Amino acid sequence: MKKLLLAAGSRPGILSLAPLYDALKKNGAYQPVALLVSAKGARPLSSDLAACFGIGDDVRTIYLPEGSAVHQLASVMTGMEAILLSEKPDLVLVCGSDNVALGAAVTAAKLGMQVAAVDAGLRSYERSDAEEVNRVVIDAMAEFHFVSEHSGEYNLINEGVADEKVFYSGNLSIDSLVRLMEQANKESAVPVKGIKPKKYALMLLGQGVFSAGKEHIGMLLRVLTELATNITVVMPRIAGFDALLKENLLDAEFIAIENLKLIEPPSHAGLLTLLRDSMLLLTDTEELQAEATVMNVPCLTMMDTSARPSTIEIGTNVLVGLDEEDIKSRIHDILHPGSHQHITSRSKIPEKWDGASAPRIVAVLDRLL
């Protein structure tokens, strides 16, 4: 029986790891080992994902110390080395593009172990983005590359990766989406009381807001204020955001926004339910771009680039950057379609984003291993 170690840290990586772990376990020919990294005191795996995909208590865990990204990366690699030498896996599958994924790929390669990159080949071509650098290095370390969209194939082959090492398997995060929504529908849970489907907008901010200046945060508040005059806005809290507003003397403006429902961070299944029932998603992170496309929810992303061009080319995602007037104009078009063509009327689901990516990867591994 082949032992395969699956490594992930952030939520996007875990959403790829979970369905793949489940499919490998059900196959019977593999012994999958999940290696998760999280901050001290935090749960490495949410209860809804653990229950949905049958991931038990035998997860290998590395806890990150406080400190800089470089300090944490060094800690990840040291912890990875000990676990990899103990487990001696036949293949290390790296899920995600954060520093945990980078640490797993580099450590395994240095130890002479075979590496497979999951969600390989994604490129935003924005080298100032730390995760873009990670993606390039991870793919360079990998022997096998499982890609989630056609752009991944083109990018890797253009970078000199042999086409027989590239496998178009689809998007594993959509496998997680399908399974979690099946579970959520059975439970019929309402994440937020007092809201009705398609009568609210969802606003999701990432950690990047903490590196933004006062002008950027002020723009977000103006957009949020105008949006909330037209429709209820649901916004999950992010740790430290209240303090950030107070530091920039913008807390009073935020508190004064009517029609804003600030909620505690929901489970991922709860977040997906909120996304499905929302009229639009306004975000400054790539996290839910793929899910919004599959759920046919208009997504306005306050970024200049995306590593998932398919969500823009055929999906519901639009990059609006930090152009306040463009953001407001597009919000108006979504809320009041009128003579404007609604963005979701032309959207399609990318090929192989069908909830069956994990079995396709396992079928390839059956041939390779």
Residue 60: burial class (beta carbons within 10 Å; 0-12, 13-18, 19+): buried
**Integer Cα distance of 155 and 152 in angstroms:** 5
Please, are residues 14 and 101 in contact by the beta-carbon 8 Å criterion? no
Structure tokens at 138: 């991870």
Pure H helices in 206-316: 214-230, 241-247, 251-255, 268-277, 289-294, 310-313
Query: Do the domains 193-265+278-345 and 2-182+353-368 match in fold?
Result: yes
DSSP string, 85-144: HHH--SEEEEESSSHHHHHHHHHHHHTT--EEEEEET-----TTSHHHHHHHHHHHH-SE
> pTM here?
0.93
**DSSP structure class, residue 60:** E
Residue type, 57: D
Q: Using CA atoms, how far apart are residues 71 and 68, in angstroms rounded to an integer?
A: 5
* pLDDT of 66 strictly over 70: yes
Q: Where are the domains of the chain?
A: 2-182+353-368, 193-265+278-345
Please write the tens of the pLDDT for every residue from 70-99: 999 999 999 999 999 999 999 999 999 999
- Split at pLDDT 50, 70, 90, the class of 189 is low
* CATH superfamily placement of domain 193-265+278-345: Glycogen Phosphorylase B; (3.40.50.2000)
SS3 of the chain: helix, strand, coil, percent, to 5: 50, 15, 35
**Mean pLDDT of the 345-360 span:** 92
pLDDT of residue 253: 86
What CATH fold (topology level) applies to the domain 2-182+353-368?
Rossmann fold (3.40.50)
- Once rounded to an integer, what is the mean pLDDT over residues 9-38? 94
Average pLDDT over residues 268-281: 94
CB 247 within 8 A of CB 265: no
DSSP 351: T
pLDDT in tens, 210-263: 777 778 888 889 999 999 999 999 999 888 888 888 888 888 888 889 899 989
Q: Which amino acid is located at 194 in the chain?
A: G
Tell me which range, 197-206, 317-326, 355-364, is most confidently predicted by mean pLDDT. Answer: 355-364
* Mean local confidence (pLDDT), 159-168: 97
Helix 99-110 vs helix 130-141: angle between axes, to the nearest 10 degrees?
30
Q: What is the DSSP letter of 163?
A: G
pLDDT digits (tens, 9 = 90+) for 50-64: 888 988 767 899 998
338 confidence band (pLDDT: 50, 70, 90):
low
Q: Which helix (H) or strand (E) holds 166?
A: strand 166-168
Q: Residue 36 pairs with which residues in a beta bridge?
A: 8, 61
DSSP-assigned beta bridge partners for residue 63? 38
CB-count burial class (<10 Å; 0-12, 13-18, 19+) for 202: buried
Task: Give yes or no for residue 340 having a pLDDT over 80.
Answer: no
The number of helices, as runs of H, and strands, as runs of E, in the chain is 15, 13
Paired strand residues for 95: 118
